[in-house]
Amino acid sequence: MGSVPSTPRKSGTFSPETAEYLIGTLVGSQPFPLSSEFWQKLLELPLNVQWPAQRVQQACELLAKNNCHTRHLAKILFHLARCLQESVSSSGVSPLVYEKAVNAVYFSSIFLKYLIESVQGDIQLYLSLEDDEAVPKDVLRDQTIENFVMRNVLNFIASVEVSPDTFLLHLELLNFMIIAMSTQLLCGSSPGPNDVNPFLDAAMAQDSSLIGSVVRRLLLNFMMRSDVPFNRATYSILSDGSQSSVLQRVGSAAANIVLFPFSYLVSSSGEGSKGPIADISIHVLLVLVHYHKCVMSDDYANNKSSTSDFLLKENSHFSENPYCKALEHAIDCELDRLDIEGNAHSAQNIKLPFALLFDTLGICLADEAAVLLLYSLLQGNSAFLEYVLVRTDLDTLLMPILEALYNASTRTANQIYMLLIILLILSQDSSFNASIHKLILTGVPWYKERLLHQTSLGSFMVIILIRTVQYNLSKLRDVYLQTTCLATLANMAPHVHRLSAYASQRLVSLFDMLSRKYNKLAEHKDNKLHTTKGNSFEGNNLVEDMSTELHIYTDFLRLVLEIINAILTYALPRNPEVVYAIMHRQEVFLPFKNHPRFNELIDNIYTVLDFFNSHMDAQRENGDWSVNEVLQVITVNCRSWRGDGMKMFTQLRFTYEQESHPEEFFIPYVWQLVLSHCGFSFNTGAINLFPVDLQTEGFENGVVGSTLQNGDFDKPEYQLDP
């Protein structure tokens, strides 16, 4: 099959012409069999060889042209899998073995990425070998190449510890995973049976024991956040030689800048990630956990007479995701005990240090990926949710969430939704709602509107949720966000304990703000009805739109009144500041006393007002009362309050439930996060998974920047069930 020039060992000199020949042969038109010496020569190229960027592009184009004949992509993937097998087969592995594996994964990543993002029409990667290819016995067996390589990649990630010798290989394998799974970007936002994701499907097909080990390892990588220095000085294959000045050190290791910067260690600003393996591990995990494989029902597959999208969707279903299942069944390694039914936990359940996971999430919630991981755990894993709810230091999680909501103007809409859903999930538990009022914050330095001193976490959560509602009213005007905030407040209301004066004032001010908006809309609607009576169709549509908005605000107002009522009905003796705030602003409730939607709720408020006003009048002396004097009278009379005359309403309880197709939100959202942080760009013209604004295409730090629209996919589908 042609001669292969000898390659000097690492200790000797190395000829650039040899690298040129070997890489040229890889992408050329002449096929080399798996058994050829060529593959070993290629993989033994020194890690500091450089190749000009324009030659890399030419190489990718040539491989794309010749791969259907040579099947060299499949062959380099085969050799990658074999190198990984060698890397885990015995102790004391030679550094040369790891270097060969790094070369193999690096070549594979570069060419695979180019082929995926250059696809026109159906994806065709030519991953099968020719029938006459001599494959060593007992290696592939009945496996496809993609299954063979994914099994060995996942096995290495799960079973080999991150060390100075293996750090770079771990990092590049995780990057390879992102690239191999990026075929999802070519699919539509709703998974269909015709989607082609060979590597993702291969990952799903692995043994449950391996899958559990992978999920555990990726989470441990995220928790450990170790910055292990690797032992090689440089790694610059396929790098532009003129860029040597930008080789920068992270720890004791120099990272490479290449045309496709898979190493992820360096940005153009010179700031490396403090935990690159931790960051990319969570991205890989999120892609795996949220993948949905759409398969056709047997009857339709055998008798299909139409290929319309509607019929395909109606006659398809999603196969079970084993990574999602493994995450949902993870248990605390410190609490390996019998479950509620008295049955021992399955031996297949992965065991994690929940304490470390809890603390790590608290540290990392400024990152959207960590927020999505926390959501996935709380929504799917009842053991972790239970663990969180019994923690006495809930501020570890809640304060970063509340700070992110406080800075909502700098967050994406999707991140705000996730944060609010997390709070809603937690607020479904009565013990959570009680415990947050027992935890006292000595101060909140980042809250600028007012100096907060000795405020309960519960009071502060009420303050931030109300602030989020007010921000939404003025900026986002999003009904989903509004409803979620108010639903969380409604869940909290019956359990409020000694709500602070400031939080109580903000609650009454929220009702006032909504009522003014409601009155303005009602007045505007009446004016439009008068001016458009018998007039244009357009005018009628405008009135109909205003009626819809007025109905929405009516619901908001009633919900706020129900929140106040729940506090007065179930927790009044413990909340004198709420009573004071209502008495201080009692005039804001008067206009709604006869409103058919509000009158019963307003009656309860006036029952409370009448009780405390009468006691105030009985003790009133000449002169004005100070705030403290009024509050003292309220506090004393709270003890004698029995709730006489109060109409009892069903206690509100809102729950979060995913709808039947959450993947239509989560898959695009996960990939948006991945592309925004993974360290390499992707051809925006090839992305079908979510809308990309090609007019503002730009790159920042080697990452797709403003090309990705921040945030505004369809809302995560869920149900609020009172």
- DSSP string of 582-625? HHHTGGGTGGGTT-TTTHHHHHHHHHHHHHHHHHHHHH--SSPP
CA distance 155 to 123: 27
Higher confidence at residue 19 or residue 330?
330
| pLDDT tens-digit series, residues 266-296 | 233 333 345 899 999 999 999 999 999 888 7
Longest CA–CA span in the chain (Å) reads 110
Domain stop point among 618, 650, 682: 650
Tell whether 628 is covered by a domain.
yes
The answer to whether residue 707 scores a pLDDT higher than 70 is no
pTM for this predicted structure: 0.86
Tell whether 442 is covered by a domain.
no
- DSSP string of 213-238? HHHHHHHHHHHH---PPPS-S---TT
Higher confidence at residue 174 or residue 540?
174
Tell whether 711 is covered by a domain.
no
| Candidate from 266-270, 299-303, 374-378, 582-586 with smallest mean pLDDT | 266-270
| Candidate from 54-63, 144-153, 251-260 with smallest mean pLDDT | 251-260
Tell whether 405 is covered by a domain.
no
The answer to whether residue 701 scores a pLDDT higher than 60 is no
Could you tell me whether strands 656-658 and 718-720 are parallel, antiparallel, or unpaired per DSSP bridges?
antiparallel
Our count of domains for the chain comes to 2
CA distance 587 to 101: 75
> Cα torsion at 93, 94, 97, 100 (round to 10°)?
150
The answer to whether residue 483 scores a pLDDT higher than 80 is yes
Cβ neighbourhood burial of 624 (10 Å; 0-12, 13-18, 19+): exposed
- DSSP string of 268-315? TTSPPPS-HHHHHHHHHHHHHHT---EEE-HHHHHH-----HHHHHHT
CA distance 659 to 650: 25
The answer to whether residue 4 scores a pLDDT higher than 70 is no
The answer to whether residue 485 scores a pLDDT higher than 60 is yes
- DSSP string of 60-91? HHHHHHHHHHH-HHHHHHHHHHHHHHHHHHSS
Domain stop point among 613, 634, 650: 650
Instruction: Report the half-sphere exposure of 276 (CA within 13 A, side-chain side).
Output: 29
Cα four-point dihedral sign 9, 14, 19, 25: negative
| pLDDT tens-digit series, residues 383-435 | 999 999 999 999 999 999 999 999 999 998 899 999 999 999 999 999 999 99
- Return phi, psi of residue 692, to 5°: -125, 130
Per-residue pLDDT band for 709 (boundaries 50, 70, 90) equals very low
The answer to whether residue 202 scores a pLDDT higher than 70 is yes
Work out the number of other CB atoms within 10 angstroms of the CB of residue 430. 14
Nearest CA to 556 out of 589, 598, 595, 587 is that of 598
Give the Cα-Cα-Cα angle 53, 54, 57 (nearest 5 degrees). 95
- Return phi, psi of residue 79, to 5°: -70, -30
Nearest CA to 288 out of 177, 207, 415 is that of 177
Q: Look at the block and give the residue holding tokens 């999680």.
A: 397
Predicted confidence at residue 234, as pLDDT, reads 40
| pLDDT tens-digit series, residues 635-693 | 999 999 998 889 998 888 999 988 778 999 999 999 999 999 887 788 888 999 998 86
Q: Which distant-in-sequence residues (6+ apart) come within 8 Å of 541 by Cβ? A: none
CA distance 340 to 196: 42
Predicted confidence at residue 535, as pLDDT, reads 56
Per-residue pLDDT band for 704 (boundaries 50, 70, 90) equals very low
- Return phi, psi of residue 51, to 5°: -140, 135
Tell whether 607 is covered by a domain.
yes
Tell whether 636 is covered by a domain.
yes
Mean pLDDT of the chain: 82
- Joined tokens for residue 600: 């019963």
CA distance 198 to 317: 18
CA distance 242 to 240: 5
Q: Are 272 and 266 in contact (CB under 8 A)?
A: yes
Predicted confidence at residue 314, as pLDDT, reads 63
Per-residue pLDDT band for 457 (boundaries 50, 70, 90) equals very high
| pLDDT tens-digit series, residues 158-177 | 999 998 889 999 999 999 99
> What is the mean predicted confidence (pLDDT) over 230-243?
43
> What is the mean predicted confidence (pLDDT) over 180-187?
94
Predicted confidence at residue 718, as pLDDT, reads 38
CA distance 436 to 461: 9
Tell whether 90 is covered by a domain.
yes
CA distance 679 to 259: 12
Tell whether 689 is covered by a domain.
no
CA distance 608 to 631: 15
Domain stop point among 602, 634, 650: 650
DSSP H or E run through 155: helix 145-159
Which domain covers residue 516, as residue numbers?
A: 511-650
The answer to whether residue 563 scores a pLDDT higher than 90 is yes
Q: Which distant-in-sequence residues (6+ apart) come within 8 Å of 322 by Cβ? A: 204, 206, 208, 211
Higher confidence at residue 523 or residue 256?
523
Predicted confidence at residue 345, as pLDDT, reads 53
Work out the number of other CB atoms within 10 angstroms of the CB of residue 167. 23
- Percent of the residues in the chain that have a pLDDT greater than 90, as a whole number: 56
- Joined tokens for residue 290: 């949220």
Q: Are 198 and 125 in contact (CB under 8 A)?
A: yes
Q: Look at the block and give the residue holding tokens 């990952």.
A: 203
Cα four-point dihedral sign 349, 353, 355, 359: negative
